[in-house]
Amino acid sequence: MTTTITGALGIDNIKAATGAVLQVVQGTTNTQVDNSTQTYVDTGLTATITPTSTTSKILVVVSQNGGFKSNSNIDNGIGAILLRGATNISTFAAYAGWSYTTNYAYIETIGTTYLDSPATTSATVYKTQFKNMAATSGVALQKQFVTSTITLMEIAG
């Protein structure tokens, strides 16, 4: 689900001050995803924004919730990345929930804040992916169907 809030765009002869928030877009998901491989897969968390200027920056705020590590292995955890399109722009988790025991691990929130400069006025997709760092058992996100969010804010350049 995506929600868009736009500011005073389209008012003739007015230029937003540098640093002003021009628009806000939020994406959410509460679909549980599991991964038992060392390959990054989509978390289902995504949002699309169309910048109004090539000089705009996009502030990305991610709250990836409901992290889980199975109890059938040791030395494992969740790896997570933020992508713009197909490009990894930030690795924001490596071994989240790691333990050197066979205990379950629950991670309430894995998050990041990232200031991007996409230099485009085309629709731009941001999303997260995750993997199992050791591929010896399962990891999950949105466990028990908790909601994760990604918020995109266009900042005037």
C-beta atoms surrounding 139 within 10 Å: 30
Each of the 157 residues of the chain gets a pLDDT tens digit; together they read 655 555 545 444 457 899 999 999 999 999 999 999 999 999 999 999 999 999 999 999 999 999 998 877 677 889 999 999 999 999 999 988 887 777 788 899 999 999 999 999 999 999 999 999 887 778 999 999 999 999 999 999 9
8 A C-beta contact, residue 155 and residue 129: no
Q: What is the pTM of this model?
A: 0.88
